[in-house]
């Protein structure tokens, strides 16, 4: 009769490697940076997603200041009200295939948004996306299918 030998596998090195990988990925992960211009977006029912790359972001804050930046909020530049057209044309000429996204505060004055849209029209940028927050449908509208 042959003797059976029991094989014992030590799991300690595997657990060590797993925790080291976890620590590595947690420490190298880049989280979304805080927004440089805080904006309270208006609500809508639209669920169209804007591309994450290749966009020019025009931001209008609650006091009516207009900022232009890349999709990640880097290279942010404030546009003077008398130089909206020049700023938009310069950014569009640097990246002609970019999608223009307007991110306006819901408390911004109508005049600031109107001036921005006039400048976009003068810059021959007739197609742009307006960024909004998704509004939840009321429970009664969901039941009726409205």
Higher pLDDT, 117 or 132: 117
In a domain, 17, yes or no: no
The whole-angstrom separation of Cα 130 and Cα 124 is 17
Q: What is the mean pLDDT of residues 74-93?
A: 85
In a domain, 80, yes or no: yes
In a domain, 30, yes or no: no
In a domain, 26, yes or no: no
In a domain, 113, yes or no: yes
In a domain, 15, yes or no: no
The domain total for the chain is 1
Torsion angle of the four alpha carbons 101, 102, 104, 110, in this order, in degrees rounded to the nearest 10: -160
pLDDT digits (tens, 9 = 90+) for 22-72: 999 999 987 766 667 777 777 777 777 777 778 888 889 888 889 988 776
- Domain span including residue 53: 43-134
In a domain, 6, yes or no: no
CATH number of the domain enclosing 67: 3.30.420.270
In a domain, 31, yes or no: no
Region of poorest pLDDT, from 7-16, 76-85, 129-138 = 129-138
């Amino acid at each position: 009769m042959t003797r059976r030998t029991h094989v014992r596998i030590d799991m300690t090195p595997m657990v060590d490697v797993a925790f080291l990988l976890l620590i590595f990925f947690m420490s190298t992960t880049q989280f979304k940076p805080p927004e440089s211009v805080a904006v309270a977006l208006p609500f809508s029912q639209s669920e169209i997603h804007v591309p994450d790359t290749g966009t020019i972001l025009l931001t209008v804050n609650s006091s009516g200041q207009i900022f232009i930046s890349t999709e990640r909020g880097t290279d942010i530049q404030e546009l003077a009200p008398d130089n909206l057209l020049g700023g938009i044309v310069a950014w569009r000429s640097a990246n002609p295939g970019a999608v223009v996204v307007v991110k306006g505060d819901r408390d911004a004055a109508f005049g600031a948004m109107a001036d921005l849209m006039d400048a976009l029209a003068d810059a021959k940028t007739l197609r742009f996306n307006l960024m909004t927050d998704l509004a939840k449908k009321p429970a009664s509208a969901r039941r009726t299918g409205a």
